[in-house]
């Protein structure tokens, strides 16, 4: 697993919470593929309200529309490793944007915890 210091790329994949791929949610599939690729990290963030391509607002406040809340999958690693990984999620995502940010990692703790 890499330990990014300095410049990194951070793709954020926006999908619906119910988007299935390979017998599990799309967000989980992306996280598992990132781990298998040895990338530095990935997180899934669940939204409480949002809309996408359909323009239908999904919210926790209306139980009938809360089944497919927005989800953002954030992955991070060095530019070279991320560019090699990116064709995978892009092929999985049929609806929703994939954003790519250049960032700087100021701290990345080892598995043993912070010093």
| Nearest CA-CA partner of 45 in 9, 99, 5, 92 | 99
Handedness of CA 13, 92, 47, 3 (dihedral sign): negative
Digit-coded pLDDT (tens) for 61-94: 766 555 677 889 999 998 889 989 988 776 777 7
Digit-coded pLDDT (tens) for 16-49: 776 666 678 888 999 999 999 999 899 999 888 8
**C-alpha–C-alpha distance, residues 67 and 8, integer Å:** 34
- Ordered by where they begin, the domains of the chain are 7-105 (3.30.70.120)
H helix runs in 46-107, sequence order: 79-85, 87-92
Strands of 36-83, DSSP E? 41-46, 49-50, 58-59, 70-76
Q: What pTM was estimated for this model as a whole? A: 0.77
């Amino acid at each position: 697993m890499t330990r990014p210091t300095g410049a990194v790329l951070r793709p954020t994949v926006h999908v619906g919470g119910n988007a299935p791929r390979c017998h599990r949610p799309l967000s989980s599939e992306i996280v598992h593929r990132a781990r298998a690729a040895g990338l530095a990290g990935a997180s899934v963030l669940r939204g409480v309200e949002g809309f996408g391509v359909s323009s239908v607002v999904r919210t926790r406040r209306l139980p009938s529309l809360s089944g497919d809340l927005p989800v953002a999958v954030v992955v991070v690693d060095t530019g070279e490793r991320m560019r090699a990984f990116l064709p995978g999620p892009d092929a999985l995502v049929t609806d929703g944007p994939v954003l790519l940010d250049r960032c700087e990692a100021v701290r990345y703790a080892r598995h043993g915890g912070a010093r």
